[in-house]
Chain A
Amino acid sequence: MRTLPECSVVIVGGGLASGLVARQLARQGVQTVVLERGGDNRDGAAGKIPTQRDELRWDTRLGLMQDAARETYTLRRSRDAAAQPMRRLSAFLPGTGVGGAGNHWGGQVWRWADYNMALRTRLETRYGRGAIPAEMPVQDWGVTYDELEPYHDLFERLFGVSGQAGNLRGQILAGGNPFEAPRRNPYPQAPLEATEAGLMFKETVEREFGYKPFPSPAANSSGPYVNPDGMHLGACQYCGHCDRFICEANAKGAPDVLLYPWLARQPGFELRTHSHVTGLDYDPVAKRVRGVKYLDLVTSEEVCQPGGAVVLAGFTLTNTRLLLGGGIGRPYDPVSGGGVVGKNFCYQANSGISMFFRDRWLNPFLAAGSTSTIIDEFNDDNFDHTGLGFFGGGYIGVGVTSGRPIAARRLPPRTPRWGSAWKQANADWYAHSCAIGVQGSCYPHRENYLDLDPDHTDAFGQPLLRLNFDWRDNEAKVSAYCTDRAHRIARAMGATQIGPVVSRASPFDTRYYQGSHVTGGTIMGADPATSVVSPRLQHWDAENLFVVGASVFAHNAGHNPTGPIGALALRLGDDLARYSSQPGRLS
């Protein structure tokens, strides 16, 4: 193994969180190396017309995603079962290459309700100290929304987010989300145009239920935009090839558009692609990480990159896998409830109901990744849970984000699966159908956690990460409750046909995409006994090791995770600049 000269900061992963950390470091002149396992896809077939518009290649066959033949995950739903590998990645889709999942995301950028960072305190205050079940280890994050607010603001400006403010410095504004945490500034750009289905949803929920619908905050650029770094976004063309695709029009806030091209011009910044990280060189006595070991995929050479500080900013699950593989921190033990690494793995209890409107032209191909119209009345703790028997909730909305015809066609229940009647149903309903969806929260459960699989390895001979996960009682109830609310709205919208109505329940089904919003495993907190990293994202057992991404979330809300990831990453960049000049435990 060749050992390189030390650099100030080494970051594992070349995605969104990494790019934001590096951006703050570059502005403060701190030398940074980013190690990315994939290549740069932007100038390839994925980022150019006409090949960009190939649904089979990029969506069905997942051309931009992590290659499951090289690395996947195993799953078991209980500790007495044998784990099975997810031989195809379907339920959630990690990215690979410069920009990571941030180059093929749909672009929803949320600020979670401010109580989320102190969820245990919130629930105990509202429902009593004994209200939280013993098997639900919800925790406060050790950080407040107010500390993150300036970084949310910066992230939204860097990514040119389009949206309608709902809470401007405490003032509730019409047309926005009245449940959003207070913001110092409006969104940098006006909201996206709504879809026809979104307008129908808005009109119905206002008239029939008195809810407050609003356009999803979107990193799909509603107009031409120049960010604070002088980086440009084009105007969104509503092409319907957004999530799972690279935006060839540079109209999606993406790290490979806004961050890495800017970073490439900064002195002291280096991006190494095709660098597959295999481990951390950890000194358990000194409680420091000496460096990051990686395989140069172009030369097959093993390399160690020493760093004054090391940041784990890979996909959520990668961060946990590297800590478990390196023996850094105590692995979580579901029997005793002790240990921390792998703890509080959460997913999202998402569901959807198809709706068919014979006389309305919904044109699903006129869409962007975040053209969704949403209500937040039933999300998280925005409503009273007294007597409901569960905690959490979800947003409910009509999101028309693609008319791609392999996957986006909807057929009414009892349609034959083939033949002329099947074809006729496709012809009848393609342009006249949509779905009402729920993005449901997932709170931690004692038995939902991550560890290393004892039997299965990746292409490099290293153990796969094992997901110990199923829909537990709480999430099944959240999903049933929110899906029922969505069903009531669907009926009020006057759909010609509806259905089927199915909420999430055990067994967790790995075959169907349910969102890529997995969280936890390296959670943050103020107590080393119950968290992996400190409120400053500094590892409790390695002073110069930091972790960022959704892996530090102590639970998952009913909102997409990218907003809090962005805020935490930008704050970490500032903290690391401080650490580089004055190492030690950050407070």
Chain B
Amino acid sequence: MSSNSDPAPDRREFLRQAATVAGILALPAAARAAGAPAAQTPADESAAGGAGWLCFSPDEAAWVERLVDVLCPADELTPRGVDCGLAFFFDRQLAGAYGRGERLYLQGPWRPAIPEDGYQLPLTPEAYFKVGLKAAEEAARARHQRGFADLGAAEADAFLQLLAAGQLKTPHVNLAHWFDELVYPLFQQACFSDPIHGGNHDRVFWKMIGYPGLPAVNGLNMVKYRGKPFPGAKTPRSIEDFS
């Protein structure tokens, strides 16, 4: 799980300064992650699916960008997570209907539960995400004397391994549960959902596994390519190609 996308050392300082500049939120994620001054960065929206944060503060955005670059390091299969639009996907999902608790029963009474009872917190996914992120950040600072976004790739990866394994105890947030029930599913959805949702930029994960996407009209293909490589798997098409 190596990464060639170590953050620039001055990245947090840049973000702190940049946050005071009007219009920073309109900067593409990739431009911010690169640590480049706004004036020198062309707004290349195609690089990461979209621009601007609806849900995240600059610090939260930096945290999530570090997260997705650890979960998805750049290698011969895909660019790094930020450039695949994964952080953008997290932001849009948490800012949208899912994050606000659509289809989630949020009436009491509330009682302690066992894991097999499923999600049993009186928090929307957006609120829970931020509570967990804050607790995880405190755990990172306690352990490394630096924030998660400032950890090197190997350090950040090791930190997440501990977190997911339930070995980082915080006063009252179950970080392993937070990771398993919320963060990790969002990560997989960010990679493999249709690019119209902001992740899976340029269908890069569909190309990686050979999922052909749309139109999926296979009345003839069903027999023709049974047991054989499927030619369309190399050039998947998404909803936007048919819109």
Selected from B73, B103, B221, the residue in CB contact (under 8 A) with A68 is B103
A418 to B1 CA separation, bound complex (whole angstroms): 8
B22 CB within 8 Å of chain A:
no
B193 touches A406 (CB 8 A): yes
B51-108 contacts to A, CB under 8 A, are 70-73, 75, 77-78, 97-98, 101-107
A62 CB within 8 Å of chain B:
yes
A430 touches B214 (CB 8 A): no
B71 touches A418 (CB 8 A): yes
Q: Which residues on B sit within 8 Å (CB–CB) of A249?
A: 217
A88 to B219 CA separation, bound complex (whole angstroms): 35
B223 CB within 8 Å of chain A:
yes
A406 to B189 CA separation, bound complex (whole angstroms): 6
Check A239/B218 contact, CB under 8 A, given A421-B1, A423-B78, A430-B209.
Answer: yes
Selected from B101, B189, B217, the residue in CB contact (under 8 A) with A239 is B217
Selected from B113, B117, B219, the residue in CB contact (under 8 A) with A238 is B219
* Nearest chain B CB to A356 CB, angstrom units: 14
B211 touches A403 (CB 8 A): yes
A87 touches B206 (CB 8 A): no
Chain B contact surface mostly: loop
B225 touches A62 (CB 8 A): no
Closest to A430 in B: B209
Task: Mark B210-228 against chain A: 1 for CB-CB distance below 8 A, else 0.
Answer: 1111111111011101111
B217 touches A237 (CB 8 A): yes
A196 to B70 CA separation, bound complex (whole angstroms): 36
User: Across the A-B interface, how many residue pairs have beta carbons closer than 8 Å?
Assistant: 187
Check A366/B214 contact, CB under 8 A, given A50-B242, A67-B103.
Answer: no
A88-111 contacts to B, CB under 8 A, are 88-90
B229 CB within 8 Å of chain A:
yes
Check A237/B218 contact, CB under 8 A, given A51-B239, A430-B210.
Answer: yes
B164 CB within 8 Å of chain A:
yes
Task: Mark B178-212 against chain A: 1 for CB-CB distance below 8 A, else 0.
Answer: 00000010011100111011000000011011111
Closest to B218 in A: A238
B229 touches A361 (CB 8 A): yes
Q: Which residues on B sit within 8 Å (CB–CB) of A508?
A: 116
Check A418/B227 contact, CB under 8 A, given A54-B194, A56-B189.
Answer: no
Q: Which residues on B sit within 8 Å (CB–CB) of A78?
A: none
A363 CB within 8 Å of chain B:
yes
A363 to B115 CA separation, bound complex (whole angstroms): 34
A49 to B215 CA separation, bound complex (whole angstroms): 8
A419 touches B111 (CB 8 A): no
A75 to B241 CA separation, bound complex (whole angstroms): 44
Residues of B in contact (CB 8 Å), total 68
Give the size category of A's interface with B: 35 or more
A86 CB within 8 Å of chain B:
yes
Selected from A54, A426, A427, the residue in CB contact (under 8 A) with B239 is A54
Closest to A421 in B: B1
Selected from A60, A69, A193, A416, the residue in CB contact (under 8 A) with B193 is A60
A195 to B228 CA separation, bound complex (whole angstroms): 12
A582 CB within 8 Å of chain B:
no
B142 CB within 8 Å of chain A:
no
Task: Mark A343-364 against chain B: 1 for CB-CB distance below 8 A, else 0.
Answer: 0000000000000000011110
A175 CB within 8 Å of chain B:
no
B233 CB within 8 Å of chain A:
yes
Closest to A85 in B: B105
A69 touches B216 (CB 8 A): no
B157 CB within 8 Å of chain A:
yes
A84 CB within 8 Å of chain B:
yes
Q: Which residues on B sit within 8 Å (CB–CB) of A85?
A: 105, 107
Q: Which residues on B sit within 8 Å (CB–CB) of A239?
A: 215-218
B235 CB within 8 Å of chain A:
no
Check A405/B118 contact, CB under 8 A, given A235-B219, A240-B216, A418-B187.
Answer: no
A89 to B192 CA separation, bound complex (whole angstroms): 22
Q: Which residues on B sit within 8 Å (CB–CB) of A418?
A: 1, 70-72, 160, 187
Closest to A235 in B: B219
B2 CB within 8 Å of chain A:
yes
B1-53 contacts to A, CB under 8 A, are 1-2
B129 CB within 8 Å of chain A:
no
Check A56/B197 contact, CB under 8 A, given A84-B111, A239-B218, A456-B109.
Answer: yes
Selected from B1, B218, B239, the residue in CB contact (under 8 A) with A53 is B239
Check A90/B77 contact, CB under 8 A, given A409-B192, A418-B71, A456-B109.
Answer: no
B118 touches A87 (CB 8 A): yes
Selected from A50, A69, A405, A421, the residue in CB contact (under 8 A) with B106 is A69
Selected from B214, B226, B243, the residue in CB contact (under 8 A) with A363 is B226
A67 to B211 CA separation, bound complex (whole angstroms): 30
Task: Mark A234-248 against chain B: 1 for CB-CB distance below 8 A, else 0.
Answer: 011111110000000
A-B contact pairs, 19 of them (CB 8 A): A49-B242, A56-B193, A61-B103, A62-B103, A87-B118, A237-B217, A237-B218, A361-B225, A361-B228, A405-B206, A406-B188, A420-B1, A420-B77, A423-B78, A427-B77, A427-B208, A427-B209, A431-B209, A511-B115
Interface residues of A (CB under 8 A from B): 49-51, 53-56, 60-62, 65, 67-69, 72, 75, 82, 84-90, 193, 195-196, 199, 235-241, 249, 360-363, 365-366, 403, 405-406, 409, 416-421, 423-424, 426-427, 430-431, 455-457, 507-511
Interface residues of B (CB under 8 A from A): 1-2, 70-73, 75, 77-78, 97-98, 101-107, 109, 111, 113-120, 157, 160, 164, 184, 187-189, 192-194, 196-197, 205-206, 208-219, 221-223, 225-230, 233, 239, 241-243
**Assuming A56-B193, A193-B222, what are 7 further A-B pairs, CB within 8 angstroms?**
A54-B196, A62-B103, A196-B226, A406-B192, A417-B164, A418-B1, A423-B208
